[in-house]
Structure 1
């Protein structure tokens, strides 16, 4: 009893410092992500956001976004636009990204794929900008149309829900090579939306406008075109991120329980842990290679082989760390 009472404060002390540091960093990061003025309102905002969605006869969606952004007085390196390339099993091809600035702001573009989005970073890491700047983004989206029995359908969020600043005025124009008879728009967040104001109709173009959008609110456009009005390639689907059955999930769960048991009992030799970890790593790599070879570099999903491999890695690392702890 006396020995346990002496070690508990030491264990708590080990975790208390990192926990405090992590909490401070989270609060600091949140404060940087949402700058506010003295009256509690966000300093940064988007005064105007104009989008043109041009539907090509080849079934490709051509997007042009003109974004006017008011930066904080302290300055930022640019803007980041997140465009989804995956919804569940459905994937899109976001390509041909270009950018420019009519106000002379740095407009170098960099794209990275993170989770389900393509992150388009516009600016210069070595140069900050402040005040009001204007950017133009252009890109293409393939596999965006869904073929139905009697029509072909496009559902697309023209602004996205990744902006953490308010948008004063947004306008979305839909342009098609055939007359547009079935076009709608909803503004807001998923599950809580309102109709966009239909500003102007033409035979081949429809305009929607919306004012005072809060952070994370977008404008989703739904377009229905007659069959064979444009070429619509079949949608592309890839396996979900988690494709493991109950066996792989059970192995992963048991591995966590095994680590807890290893902490109480003499651990096997360190070489056993290293071997298990290496075998698990090989299983994960083999599963990843199969997915990537069949569907592309971002199609990797956690199947039973990956889960079994992770289980072996967890047990192996537990053995190695357990032996090291006992040696100390």
Structure 2
């Protein structure tokens, strides 16, 4: 069935998001300036610049010649489209650690894209080469971080890992068909992938299946290896770090029991009272330099009270669905208003002290 509720909610969020930066950006900038000016001292002259941290899955070391010592020799994926509408994934990863010792690998599987949520569940791991394959999972930003390995000891050379999991609510009902878009290997790998293969299996004949390889947004078509009535195979060679294979499938309507998509609540859930308080606070901050300023303690109290209101508004949503599920209600907007005024008071005292 066509998901009218999801479509309307998505349209409402898209229409409301452009209003959010204009009302909240000034508040966040003021608060950030205060925290930076109060907590961080100015950098000393001649001090060395900090080295940025490297984020990702497994950071690739370099050899003396500057070449990558690690790579993924083969990456085989089977995407099973179940009749119950659940996507069942089996990934077999042959990872070449070279001479560098590692505790294992980390795979990032998305559980959220935009306002869309996926249910990643039933995660299992193993290793056919005897490498430690203990699994630990953690939700990180928009992805489920699947760590495969062991804390005791390191592995070297070529090791094979198998990661299996299910993804519910991955299909999107459309007019006359159900659609699935899924990056089979992800773009979180920091090492090259020499050979990748993706097999798509379905309980009905596959007539509309495509695959694009490369960085996000790339349009390079994957090489179609073999076609069958119920399975299609794609292969790709020499993928660079952070390049993936995005598969798109169209199935006839009701071919699988696709569950309706799940969306996070709108980020902007406040009404006129909260919006008016936030706008009023911005006007008060603009007038502070021209009027007697409350004491510094008053500014700290207002900022603390506002932070408590924001925490109270976000607490239930964050506890239930994670950090990125929280939306801005009236209590959150009132808290931002108090934090804005408090930050403005602290800023004025700071500048006058100079």
2:133 corresponds to 1:92: no
Once the two structures are TM-superposed, the CA of residue 151 in structure 1 deviates from its matched residue by 1.0
Superposed, which structure 2 residues align to 1:1-328 within 5 Å?
A: 14-17=41-44, 20=47, 23-26=49-52, 29=54, 33-239=59-265, 241=267, 251=278, 258=285, 268-270=295-297, 272-289=298-315, 291-292=317-318, 296-298=321-323, 299-303=325-329, 305-313=331-339, 315-316=341-342
Conserved? CA contact 1:99–1:109, under 8 Å: yes
Deviates more, 1:207-216 or 1:31-40: 31-40
Measured at CA, do residues 34 and 86 of structure 1 come closer, stay the same or move farther in structure 2, by a change above 3 Å? same
Q: Is the 8 A contact 2:285 2:340 kept in 1?
A: no
Taking the aligned partners of 1:237 and 1:218, their CA distance within structure 2 comes to 25
RMSD between superposed Cα atoms in Å: 3.7
| Bigger mean CA offset, 185-194 vs 208-217 | 185-194
| C-alpha distance after superposition, 1:280-299 (max 9, x if no partner) | 13321232145458x73452
Distance 1:24 1:75 in 2: 26
In structure 1, C-alpha distance between the alignment counterparts of 2:194 and 2:277, rounded to whole Å: 50
Deviations 1:246-285 (A, max 9, x none): 97599499679959x78xx866152x24532342133212
The answer as to whether partners of 2:105 and 2:149 remain within 8 angstroms in 1 is yes
8 A Cα contact 1:248 1:303, kept in partner: no
Q: Shift of residue 146 of structure 1?
A: 0.7
TM-score normalised by L of structure 1: 0.81
Structure 2 unmatched ranges of 5 or more: 1-37
SS of match in other structure, 1:225: strand
Tell me if structure 1 keeps the 8 A contact 2:111–2:144: yes
- 2:9 counterpart residue number: none
The answer on whether the counterparts of 1:94 and 1:139 sit within 8 Å (CA) in structure 2 is yes
How far is the alpha carbon of 1:114 from its aligned partner? 1.5
**Cα 1:20/1:239, change in 2 over 3 Å:** farther
Asked if the contact 1:44/1:165 (under 8 Å) is kept, the reply is yes
Q: TM-score, normalised by structure 2?
A: 0.75
Partners in 2 of 1:313 and 1:301 — Cα distance?
Answer: 17
Contact 2:122 2:166 in 1 (8 A): yes
> Any idea what SS the aligned residue of 2:43 has?
helix
Give the gaps of 5 or more residues in structure 1.
1-10
| Distance verdict in 2 for CA 1:323–1:284, change over 3 Å | same
SS of equivalent residue, structure 2 residue 308: helix
Q: CA deviation at 1:242?
A: 6.2
Cα deviation for residue 205 of structure 1 reads: 0.8
Deviation (angstroms), 1:49: 0.3
Structure with higher RCO (Cα < 8 A, 6+ apart): 2
SS in 2 for 1:43: coil
Superposed CA offset, 1:126-146 (max 9, x none): 432222111100000000001
Moved more, 107-116 or 45-54: 107-116
Per-residue deviation at 1:104?
A: 1.6
* SS of equivalent residue, structure 1 residue 312: helix
8 Å Cα contact 2:293/2:345 also seen in 1: no
